């Protein structure tokens, strides 16, 4: 994933190059779109692989119920 992000960052910088021909610019944009789609697919898979939250609700730190005991 990191390599795809770095490639996209470099591609944006290359896209700003004024010496890039219209054809080269179009090809670079097409490659960027494909790379972006691949990156999103990787991120989606990574999110699916994360451990799921348990169905039980989390315990909260509430004030315990206090009882007053009488002395005999």
Q: Is residue 34 part of a domain?
A: yes
In a domain, 14, yes or no: no
Domain that holds residue 28: 2-9+21-49
Burial 53-68 (b: 16+ CB within 10 A, else e): eeeeeeeeeeeeeeee
pLDDT tens sequence for the chain (72 residues): 788 889 889 999 999 999 999 999 999 999 999 999 999 999 899 888 877 665 566 666 777 677 777 666
For residue 42, tell me if it sits in a domain: yes
Domain presence at residue 62? no
Q: What is the pLDDT of residue 18?
A: 92
Collect all residues with Cβ–Cβ distance below 8 Å to 14 and sequence separation of at least 6: 20, 28
Q: Please give the biggest Cα pair distance in the chain.
A: 96
pLDDT score recorded for residue 52: 65
57 inside domain: no
Enter the pTM of the model: 0.62
The pLDDT of residue 55: 57
Count of domains in the chain? 1
Token pair recorded at residue 1 = 């994933």
CA 13, 15, 17, 21: dihedral to nearest 10 degrees? 160
Q: Determine, yes or no, domain membership for 72.
A: no
Please give the pLDDT value at position 31. 94
């Amino acid at each position: 994933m990191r390599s795809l992000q770095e490639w996209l960052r470099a591609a944006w910088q290359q896209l700003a190059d004024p010496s890039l021909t219209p054809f080269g610019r179009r090809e670079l944009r097409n490659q960027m779109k494909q790379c972006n789609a691949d990156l999103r697919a990787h991120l989606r898979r990574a999110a699916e692989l994360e451990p799921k939250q348990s169905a039980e609700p989390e315990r909260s730190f509430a004030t315990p119920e206090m009882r007053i005991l009488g002395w005999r």
